[in-house]
Amino acid sequence: MTTKRRVARGWLRGCLIWATCVIALLTATGARAGDAPWVFGTELDVVPFLNDGYYLSAILGKGRLRGRIVRTELTTPGFATDDGFKDNDLEVWAGIVDIYFKDDFKGWWFGPGLERWTGEVTEEASGLRQGYATNILTLGGGYTWWFSKHFYLNPWAAVHFPIGGDRDVEFSSSTFSIDPTPEASVKLGFMF
């Protein structure tokens, strides 16, 4: 099977999983969201800023559900990069649905999503640099603390699972692997 075909099949599989989750969640929680107002917002995440990058998000929500579109760029830290490699520069586009257990987006939440990771990494031994593109299923959760009507703090954790695209990047003397990756951080949010 060609690389393009594997990428397309992985992306399609991920889209189907994500769509199934979203439909099930909307059906299960739709009755509760009837009188709730629509909210809009954004969040700032600490991790990308600490790793030479940025994080931008747009949030739309109602009831106990909210959707996030995220754009992130960062250089993964050395401890999170395979041995023998450095300068793993990563660009991420993500679509995530957050499901809260309480109204008004308070307390515990969990969220499935799909991400597209496009990166470049350098093999230390040869100095060669190569790119990759991987489709990711992400499963995360956290807790939202509101400290005013419009601002909140959101510590969270997630695991990112490769489901399509490049899983390994072959170099002359070693292989860079895209494996399931845990992540944790804190976001500062603004909703109106």
Low-confidence ranges of the chain (pLDDT < 50): 31
How many Å apart are CA 74 and CA 21, to the nearest integer?
28
Q: What is the pLDDT of residue 118?
A: 97
- Collapsing DSSP to helix, strand or coil, 137 comes out as strand
Q: What is the pLDDT of residues 175-190, one digit of tens each?
A: 999 999 999 999 999 9
Q: What is the pLDDT of residue 33?
A: 54
Q: Are 154 and 189 in contact (CB under 8 A)?
A: yes
How many Å apart are CA 55 and CA 4, to the nearest integer?
29
Q: Are 174 and 137 in contact (CB under 8 A)?
A: no
Domains defined for the chain, CATH in brackets: 3-191 (2.40.160.20)
Q: What is the pLDDT of residue 35?
A: 79
Q: What is the pLDDT of residue 5?
A: 55
Pairs from 21-27 (Cβ < 8 Å, separation ≥ 24): 21/97, 21/112, 22/97, 25/65, 25/97, 25/99, 26/65
> Torsion angle of alpha carbons 10, 12, 16, 18, nearest 10°?
70
Q: What is the pLDDT of residue 31?
A: 43
Which helix or strand (DSSP H or E) is residue 23 part of?
A: helix 3-29
